[in-house]
Amino acid sequence: MAHLSLRAKSLVALAFACLIVLVPALVLGMKGVERVRLYFGQAYAENLTQLNRQRMLAPIALDLALSRRLAGSQVTRAWLRDESDPAARELFFAEADGYRRDLHDEAYFAISARSGNYYFNDAAQPLSSAPRYQLSPTDPGDAWFYDTLRTAGEYNINVNPDLKLKITRVWINVLVRDGDEVLGVAGASIDLNRFLDRLREDVQPGVTPLLFDASGAIQAHPDSARIAYNSGTRSGADTQTIFDLAGSAADAEALKAAVAQARATPAATQVVQLDLDGARQVLALAYIPELDWYAATGVDTRASHVVDSRWLIPAAGLLVAILAALMLCAALGVERLVLRPIRRLQQSARAIANGNYDAPLPVGGDDEIGDLSRAFGEMTAQVRSHTQELEQRVQARTIELQAANEAMAAAQKRLGDSIDYASLIQRAILPDRQLTQTLGEQHFVIWRPRDVVGGDFYVYRAEGDNCLLGLMDCAGHGVPGALMTMLVRAAMDVAINDIGLADPAALLTRCDTAIRAMLSDAQLPPALATNADAGLVYIDRLTGQLRYAGARIDLYASNGSEVELYRSDKRALADKRKGAYANQEIAMSPGWTYYLVTDGFLDQAGGEKGFGFGDARFEAMLREHAARPLHEQADAFSQALASYQGDRPQRDDITLLSFRFESRS
């Protein structure tokens, strides 16, 4: 067997060392990938659950409110007490048709407890006073109705196919009571396919969104076979529930505990890992108190595309390339540090043997090369030794600096990736799609965080034809400002849930109280600012009125020749001293455009002397452009700000929200 050269031996030793390091590195890397996949899967499930919660709550909450008003109407009770009265019948169907036009699917129904007559009108047959069919206590298919009459609750919501009308819908059944007497049932219905399409919107493979009620009966699921039809009454009580999908009794108990916790804390999202429907999943769920339902999202982290795993193959290739480069460097090192000095020593020995005593000698240690070199000239060996030592120190220091630079670059990349992901999350909570779908060309938004994320955000909530628009400027910018937006957004959601949309001043007061409550137990330094400026406008399209209240964010209005300024109250939300907020009633006039702007726009430095943009320049800009279409205004305002700013950096987060409405009265 041939002897291996020194170069070959060094390469074999390096390859063996690389293998020893590579195996645990691969194991740790796979575990790290799995943890990353689980983390992002959980975050995706939580965000999608909250999104579906809002998607489902909006249409059902509106239809439920209208159904309760229809069932509680004196006209409805008067007609159901005497169906044969022509005047009562005509009055009821005229009033019900008005409710129908405001319902999500323009469909309502009414059932008389005395006659069993079933009345149903939708967009295809909007005004018909003839019953569609008659229910019977002896018909098993009608048992849901008589079970509903015997329930103690005011209403129930369930998914049920109407075999006689040949439709399957989400039904909102509200009891019509006259004192202790139940006169019948009235309510609305939402098309199930549209309901499920809303639920399945933008769903990725391996992700299962669903809704289920307090008993666990599934009300909406991408697989319609999973839906517990007619679960709102006793006739649907024996259907399969979400707990039956759990892989084990322990998983079912964990799911029940998460459901109980979600019910106890409706504002939070509960997350549990379990075997669900035959696969290991991360399940996020949130309680919807208004419907007594739960919104849930199951994410199979292996089947879903929450984390793109296509980068693993390039990463493995890069690792192989690094190992090959390392072995090449080792071969070059052996060549330079060992083999080359031996050849030089051989050449020097031949030169000295031929009489050339000034021939350079290779640097050596306590080995044969060193002994031979010192025998020919100790001084030359010392000079060479010092030079080599210095070179080695420089090389070692260079390697250390290179490693430190690579570590810093990797840390900076991770930080940048985290901030980019936070920017995507912050962008997702902004109501851009809702504004575009409902207001369209009647609005525009300029939103420019100073950093990747910022402390400004805007809100939009609809209430029929009316809506609430608002702008929030939280203290700070960058990551601290973005975190404050999450807190203030949560406080505003609490205020809207408690008060509604129509009273902006009360919303600011309630939001101020909620922020103070959230920060009451936090040990914050006195210099840390946690306040927020705000401006809210409620638009009543029917009366042609705007109701405005502000906390250090003023409302501007202009028709292109005049500018009106409605001053806000001077105290920010969560300021050191509490502020008092008042509504201002403003009549909408044709051709007027309204603007809410944060101080980042007005304080932006620019011009020759670096002064702020200022109120006067802003009002002049409104007079110049307010009469133009809104999308042209957005471009004009952006160009005006950029021209004034020049090369100066952006000081603060910049947000401008503009809208224009014409009265429908």
The string of DSSP letters for 450-503 reads: SSSS-SEEEEEEEETTEEEEEEEEESS-HHHHHHHHHHHHHHHHHHHHHH-SS-
Rg (CA), the chain: 36
pLDDT, tens only, 134-166: 898 988 888 888 888 888 788 888 777 777 777
612 CB burial (10 A radius; 0-12, 13-18, 19+): middle
pLDDT, tens digit, 9 for 90 and up, residues 612-638: 999 999 999 999 999 999 999 999 999
pLDDT for 559 equals 94
Question: Residues 122-134: what's their mean pLDDT?
Answer: 84
Summarize pLDDT for 567-626 with one digit per residue, the tens: 999 999 999 889 899 999 999 988 899 999 999 999 999 999 999 999 999 999 999 999
Q: Contact at 8 Å (CB) between 507 and 492?
A: yes
Residue 512 has pLDDT above 90, yes or no: yes
Residue 383: band (very low, low, confident or very high) from pLDDT cuts 50, 70, 90: very low
pLDDT of residue 333: 67
For 424-440, what is each residue's pLDDT tens digit?
887 888 999 999 999 99
| Helical segments of 551-614, H only | 599-602
pLDDT at residue 64 greater than cutoff 70 = yes
With a pLDDT cut of 70, the percent of the chain lying above it is 78
Nearest in space to 554 (alpha carbons), one of 569, 572, 567, 573: 567
pLDDT band at 185 (very low <50, low <70, confident <90, very high): very high
Residue 359 is predicted with a pLDDT of 66
Q: Which two tokens stand for residue 305?
A: 């595309």
Say which amino acid occupies 500.
G
Is 232 a residue whose pLDDT tops 60?
A: no
* DSSP state string for 122-183: -SSS-S--S-SEE--TT-GGGHHHHHHHH-SSSEEEEEEEETTTTEEEEEEEEEEEETTEEE
Predicted local distance difference test score (pLDDT) of residue 236: 46
Determine the pLDDT at residue 365: 60
Residue 311 has pLDDT above 60, yes or no: no
Is the per-residue pLDDT at 308 higher than 60? no
At residue 660, the pLDDT reads 93
User: Is the pLDDT at 195 greater than 60, yes or no?
Assistant: yes
Of the options 3.30.160.60, 3.40.50.1970, 3.40.630.30, 3.60.40.10, the CATH number for the domain spanning 430-659 = 3.60.40.10
Highest mean pLDDT among 59-63, 195-199, 434-438, 547-551: 547-551
Q: Using pLDDT thresholds of 50, 70 and 90, give the confidence band for residue 1.
A: very low
- Residue 228's pLDDT is what? 76
Give the type of residue at 516: R
- pLDDT the model gives residue 527: 61
Residue 266 confidence class, pLDDT cut points 50, 70, 90 = confident
- Report the range of poorest mean pLDDT among 92-101, 360-369, 544-553: 360-369
Confidence of residue 380 (pLDDT cuts 50, 70, 90): low
Higher-scoring residue by pLDDT: 624, 663: 624
* pLDDT over threshold 50, residue 62: yes
Residue 82 pLDDT > 70: yes
Give yes or no for residue 56 having a pLDDT over 80. no
237, pLDDT greater than 60: no
pLDDT of residue 370 exceeding 80, the answer is no
In CATH, which superfamily holds the domain spanning 335-422? HAMP domain in histidine kinase (1.10.8.500)
Per-residue pLDDT band for 316 (boundaries 50, 70, 90) equals low
Going by pLDDT thresholds of 50, 70 and 90, the confidence category of residue 54 is confident
β-bridge mates for residue 22, sequence order: none
Q: Tell me which of 144-148, 206-210, 238-242, 258-262 is least confident.
A: 238-242
36-41: average pLDDT: 69
Domain boundaries along the sequence of the chain: 335-422, 430-659
- pLDDT confidence tier of residue 224, bands split at 50, 70 and 90: confident
Question: Smallest Cα–Cα separation from 491: which of 469, 527, 519?
Answer: 519
pLDDT at 456: 93
Rounded to whole angstroms, the Cα distance separating 15 from 326 reads 9
Mean pLDDT value across residues 56-63: 77
SS (H, E, C) 237-304: CCCCEHHHHECCHHHHHHHHHHHHHHHHCCCCCEEEEEEECCEEEEEEEEEECCCCEEEEEEECCCCC
As a whole number, mean pLDDT of residues 119-126 equals 85
Average pLDDT over residues 291-315: 68
Contact 33, 137 (CB under 8 A): no
Rounded to two decimals, what is the model's pTM? 0.43
